[in-house]
Amino acid sequence: MENNTTVFQDVARLVNLTAMPLNSVEEQVITILLTTLICGVGIAGNVMVVLVVLRTKHMVTPTNCYLVSLAVADLIVLLAAGLPNISDVVAFWIYGYTGCLCITYLQYLGINVSSCSITAFTIERYIAICHSIKAQFICTVSRAKRIIAGIWIFTSLYCTMWFFLADTKETVYTNGVVVTCAYRVSRSFYMPIYFLDFTLFYVVPLIVATVLYGLIARILFMSPLPSHLSDRAGGGSVHQGHSHSTNKPNKGAITARKQITKMLAVVVILFALLWMPYRTLVVVNSFIDPPYHDTWFLLFCRMCIYTNSAINPIVYNLMSQKFRVAFKKLCRCSCHGREAEYNVPIYYSVMKSSSGGSNEPVTEQEELSGQTSSRFNVTEDDASALS
């Protein structure tokens, strides 16, 4: 070890090198604490989202399928970006060349799939609410699964370029050699690739979300509900029970549609806000020299990205009663998980399309208030809206 140190010092004197830069103790402590907290909460929450949807039959709706895809993508971001940051802030890069390629690939895969999943459920919500007659044939679980598979295949192929763009870099200092996971190409070649990624997976999704949620808001909040949407919100033309109870499920279904739309809109808004610092930093650094690399601002940008991948399950728990009940049952917070403990009446119905659409069974939980005990058939777009 002494011989190696002597060699480094001799080389340093010959080429006029500087001492190895070390992260301050404050930065190390704050990074480790925040990253551990955010990643711990995010990994647990996203795993719960996946489990409650896969293990609860009535939770398998088109919208929830997209939320599972989003949860898996967020898990990848937390595992591939968050956790390596803990070791990187203490001991630089320790995962080698193969780890550099794989971790970089997984980071961009998770980021881009999460963006595509958000765009997919935004379009699904638009169709379900603004074109509800067509939605019973378009917004099905089987179609959602095919779309999700297409998203993952496309994004997996798109991100393969990072296997050729990432590389490890060794820098010699007076007291050792630092290995970092960096980019193979120069900054001038990397920027066009970044702006393509920035446009496809940030700008376009936000434009689509802004336009579609504006149209959805006009239907749900700013104008009287169209008759065809009101009819389908109430369960279509088939009712089991007395006619005087029709208005209650209509009102309940419409309220549920508004609530799920608000929840998904919050997810999109958080995505836009929490990614904005990092995206803005990269855009600014593309036009200034030298680039702005303040340590604490970079740490803030990283924490925003990790928070975006961790916060969605919290939003579901706060804004969706179905997810809240499912999370409680998964955590065994009640006595033997009995449904009565949650004071939520559960009704199930099965819909089969009679006009050539998907005939797969769809079960749905309806949260009805008062003394209503009738059972109603719902279409698949209503099932998605009540998720």
- Asked whether the beta carbons of 257 and 320 are under 8 A apart, the reply is no
Task: Output the pLDDT for position 204.
Answer: 96
pLDDT of 32 higher than 60: yes
The mean pLDDT value for 360-382 works out to 35
Task: Output the pLDDT for position 300.
Answer: 95
pLDDT tens by residue, 279-335: 888 888 878 878 888 889 999 999 999 999 999 999 999 999 889 988 988 886 544
pTM for the whole structure: 0.77
Task: Output the pLDDT for position 76.
Answer: 97
Most confident range (mean pLDDT) of 186-190, 299-303, 320-324, 346-350 is 299-303
Q: What is the sign, positive or negative, of the torsion defined by CA atoms of 372, 358, 70, 40?
A: positive
CA distances (Å), 270 to each of 201, 217, 225, in order?
15, 18, 28
Domain ranges (residues) in the chain: 2-385
Residues 196-218 as b or e (16 or more Cβ within 10 Å = b): ebbeebbeebbebbeebbeebbe
* Band of pLDDT at residue 247, cut at 50, 70 and 90: very low
Give me the architecture of the 2-385 domain, per CATH: Up-down Bundle (1.20)
pLDDT tens by residue, 56-109: 888 999 999 999 999 999 999 999 999 898 888 887 788 989 999 999 999 999
pLDDT of 121 higher than 90: yes
